[in-house]
Structure 1
């Protein structure tokens, strides 16, 4: 389990490279949901998502030999962008492996940052190619199965604990589980009374399936939300979720997209469906915990285009 000391060390390490993103009350979402809502705006983070935190923490701990060998990352979009951009800044050669379902703008962003981008038919094939490249000598920067990455993501929880008012419930999207694991580990120590809820989309239910099975299992992916589409959570992230997360809620792709549009309308913030899914889940949390709740929503990323949501543009 990740300790608070590791998260604090990560915060110090990455501070020159990433942003301390705003943690702000949202009058619009508070009015919509009928309870106080605080938004953590990782949409404003470098590379457009929280992924810059974990990637930077991992890259900064590479030894000289690993830096010389170069790194490889598998990604549905945001992790690949983060590794490409931060590796470029730190002078490390990067290869990013993405499935064809990854957004075209994510591939373009990784390429523009100087990374070599390899495209596979699907996410399981992307993980397989990454394993082969790792066997050839590249150093993996895993999107979630790495304590250094989890500690980096946990800095979001540090900032929430420092900057948010009194919260009763924090909602966090889950792909492979790195973000929620890091945040839950930080809040366990700093805000022990806060409940942490995970949110997935139908067809990208790796964590809820693992919790039902008693451990990580492979899942079939069908969600259009590529940034949440991990084919399997890791033992590391599963252990954190099983111990620290109140529950994992699953919403439809359509509700996730509607959540994106509602957040844009009410909070005046553009998110991707991986963050939009929090809004329908928040309504279900309120049904369970009651109207005295004070919610924190981690708006994890904003790397979606209107075209990718079928809105033209």
Structure 2
């Protein structure tokens, strides 16, 4: 497992390459939920999500031979965007493999940044293709099964601990688990009394399944939230979450989309469903811990188009 020194080293490494995103109190969300709410706005990161942190930490650590060979990543959207944009900034050739369910906008951004984008029928196929490309000589930048990437994502938690007022509970979205693993390391070191909660969407429950099984297991994916849709977590992220996180909650896709609309109306920020899931999860947290809570929400990304959200809202009857 990584430690706080690894997160601090990652923070030093990525400084100047990523944005120190705002940590702000939200009167609108506080009124909506009935308790003080602080939001860490990672959707304002230069790639639209926290993923730039881990990708930058990994790319800056590569040897010259690895840089020359080029890098490859699998992504449901945001990791691919982050790798493509970061690789372009550092003059490294990148290949991004995405399932066809990935947002069209994510594919477009990755291609516009100069990455070679390969599409597969599903996420399992994407992981299989990435493995073949790695075996052919490309350097894998895994979205969550890499200590350097997890440490990079942990810089979110380091900043939250430094910038937020007193918090009792922090809620973090979970896909493969890299973000919550890194954030948990930072918070356990800097804010040891804070409870840490994860949230997944139904049909993208890789961490919940792993916790129930006692280790990583494959899961069937059906959620619309492609950015949370990992076919399994890794042993690395499972170990961190099982040791450091209080509980992982699961919410329906419909409530995640409703959360996007609530963020827009009450917090005045445009999120994606992976972040929208924080609000129904926060309500469940409050049911457990009571009204004395002071919530921190890691708003992980905002790479959803108005057309995407409008379509989901229509499909779920959200008006």
Q: TM-score range by the shorter chain?
A: over 0.9
Q: Which structure 2 segments of 5+ residues have no match?
A: 313-319
Identify the residue that residue 122 of structure 1 maps to in structure 2. Answer: 122
Identify the residue that residue 308 of structure 1 maps to in structure 2. Answer: 308
Identify the residue that residue 246 of structure 1 maps to in structure 2. Answer: 246
SS in 1 for 2:151: helix
Distance 1:271 1:26 in 2: 15
CA positional deviation for 1:4:
0.7
Identify the residue that residue 31 of structure 1 maps to in structure 2. Answer: 31
Distance 2:207 2:307 in 1: 29
CA positional deviation for 1:310:
3.2
Q: CA RMSD in A?
A: 0.7
Instruction: For 1:61-72, list aligned pairs within 5 A.
Output: 61-72=61-72
Identify the residue that residue 175 of structure 1 maps to in structure 2. Answer: 175
**CA-to-partner distance for each residue in 1:112-135, whole Å, 9 max, x for gaps?**
000000000000000000000000
Q: Which structure 1 segments of 5+ residues have no match?
A: none
Instruction: For 1:56-205, list aligned pairs within 5 A.
Output: 56-205=56-205
Distance 1:51 1:95 in 2: 16
Per the normalisation by structure 1, the TM-score is 0.99
**CA-to-partner distance for each residue in 1:20-48, whole Å, 9 max, x for gaps?**
00000000000010000000000100110
SS in 2 for 1:48: coil
SS in 1 for 2:47: helix
Identify the residue that residue 4 of structure 2 maps to in structure 1. Answer: 4
**CA-to-partner distance for each residue in 1:254-311, whole Å, 9 max, x for gaps?**
0000001001100000000000000001000000001000000000000001111234
Distance 1:288 1:162 in 2: 26
**CA-to-partner distance for each residue in 1:227-268, whole Å, 9 max, x for gaps?**
000000000000000000000000000000000100110000
**CA-to-partner distance for each residue in 1:146-195, whole Å, 9 max, x for gaps?**
00000000000000000000000000000000000000000111000001
Per the normalisation by structure 2, the TM-score is 0.97
Distance 1:189 1:45 in 2: 24
Distance 1:144 1:243 in 2: 17
1:290 aligns with 2:290: yes
- Worse overlay, 300-309 or 118-127: 300-309
Identify the residue that residue 217 of structure 1 maps to in structure 2. Answer: 217
What is the aligned residue count? 312
Distance 2:195 2:91 in 1: 40
Distance 1:220 1:306 in 2: 28
Distance 2:61 2:41 in 1: 26
Return structure 1 stretches of 4+ with deviation > 4 angstroms: none
Distance 1:311 1:71 in 2: 34
Identify the residue that residue 14 of structure 1 maps to in structure 2. Answer: 14
Distance 2:292 2:175 in 1: 29
